[in-house]
Amino acid sequence: MNFPTALLDVRRMDEAERLTLAAGTPATLLMEHAGQSVAREIMQRWSARPVIVLCGPGNNGGDGFATARHLSTAGWPVRVALLGPPDCLKETARFHADLWRGEVRQLVPGMLDDAKLVVDAILGAGLDRPLEGSAAEILSVAAGRRLPIVAIDVPSGLMGDTGEALGAVAATLTVTFFRKKPGHLLLPGRLLCGEVVVADTGIPSSVLDQVAPDTFENDPKLWVARLPRAKAGGNKYNRGHALISGGYPMTGAVRMAARAAARAGSGLTTIAVSPVALPVYAATLTSIMVQPLAVPEDFDYLLDDIRYTAFLIGPGAGTGEETRSRVLSILKTGRPTLLDADALTAFADDPPTLDEAITGSCVLTPHDGEFHRLFDPSGDKLTRTRAAASRSGAIIVLKGSDTVITHPDGRSIINSNAPPTLATAGAGDVLSGIILGFLAQGMEPFLAAAAAVWVHGAAAAEFGPGLIAEDLADLMPGILRRLYEQQ
């Protein structure tokens, strides 16, 4: 796994700093660089104006004092307010507070005065309690006045590991250091951070080998080298054959998934349908093959054909016994399988049976409602997705604006490129088809799921307003072409 997109939880970030200090870099220098970085980002975006820097008693407050000093040196009018008594600052933060030559006022509500920009250096990412009291009140007043708020590390009241908000207000800009945290991407944190800038404070990237990150921001850097593509001398047979269990009377979901699988590069795509549904599928599909099933046993006969390289069941399938039976038959093959929608809900009354049946490469793509039917919904999104993947042995794609893709071993990828327009009927079916297309070509399932989620978001962003699910597959060739240029 590449490290450029690593996300560091609070514990790992603390360890990265500890290793840097142990290697000889002074803590005061890291804080100096932090203050320089925040001041620089502010001056690149705003003209000089009255600033109030709100400092807490910890290292976040020390970063605030360093920021105030660099802004003041550049000629900006700066005031500093401290949460707590003057002797609350310790060690490194005290060092930088002593370098500040201006007045330090007590942080109390109603002291914004003529401030035109607020720097929030009150609490860092390690928050374990709600933001309250005068700190909460003054940030609320600043937000109410629509003053630009620049947060150092994370907005105060935001949990860096989970994105949970405990009294946080939205920042215009968040400047964090070395690597982003999961809370910068997970909702509601992503909506509260505004623009996020990652600044270099002098922590060497080599420490990542020791802190061993297990969470990453979804980005082509993670998987583009493994993205399947057509090769000279190849043919449709060695590009994989995807098989989809077709539903009826809801046929649209499967048809969209099939087109997406083909656009993702599957050499052959077949939909297995009951005879009653055959006219609908056959009349609306051209390059997608349709295989009628005269009797239930015909489906098992298809599964015996080793030329099928990946399977999808769920969209429009219904939640009855036939769907359960087909899911279990597919899983017995041990070949890459994607379960979505009704294939998940069909086991809502008996999740252990599904868990026991998953022995090979399997991807589950639930939205929140489907997830809650199968798994424990408690905890933050990363925690519950990891627990679900570990229990089931499947790769879990927990969909949403902050989709999380998790491997059973705990590695997780958080997606951040999905626009709001993806909240439209059928978009999830297209995503299933893209994953299926990559699986059919032999792409490793964890990376196939991550790549598909990113491509799905990129296609939606490229289309813009007015998107409907049918538009997505036709946008994929342009997205894939640009990705192949990166290989």
Tens digits of residue pLDDT in 224-276? 999 999 888 888 989 999 999 998 999 999 999 999 999 999 999 999 999 99
The proportion of the chain whose per-residue pLDDT surpasses 70, expressed as a percent, equals 100
Burial of 349 (0-12, 13-18, 19+ CB in 10 A): exposed
The pTM of the full predicted model, rounded to 2 decimals, is: 0.96
Per-residue pLDDT of 9-47, as tens digits, reads: 999 999 999 999 999 999 999 999 999 999 999 999 999
- CA end-to-end span of the chain, whole Å? 16
Partnered with residue 272 across adjacent β-strands are 245, 291
C-alpha span between 121 and 56 (Å, rounded): 6
Domains of the chain: 6-215 (3.40.50.10260), 220-484 (3.40.1190.20)
What is the predicted pLDDT for the residue at 119?
98
CB burial of 115-128 (b: ≥16 within 10 Å; e: otherwise) equals bbbbbbbbbbbbbe
User: Across residues 39-65, what is the average pLDDT?
Assistant: 97
Query: What's the token pair of residue 195?
Result: 């623009």
User: Across residues 292-312, what is the average pLDDT?
Assistant: 95
What is the predicted pLDDT for the residue at 110?
86
The dihedral through the CA atoms of 243, 265, 228, 234 has a sign that is positive
User: Across residues 157-175, what is the average pLDDT?
Assistant: 97
Note whether 341 and 433 are within 8 A (CB): no
C-alpha span between 35 and 65 (Å, rounded): 7
Find, among 11, 22, 476, 461, the residue nearest to 214 by Cα: 11
* Phi, psi angles (nearest 5°) of residue 308: -75, 125
The dihedral through the CA atoms of 213, 218, 221, 225 has a sign that is positive
Q: Is the pLDDT of residue 1 over 70?
A: no
C-alpha span between 59 and 23 (Å, rounded): 20
Secondary structure E strands in 163-233: 173-177, 195-199, 215-217
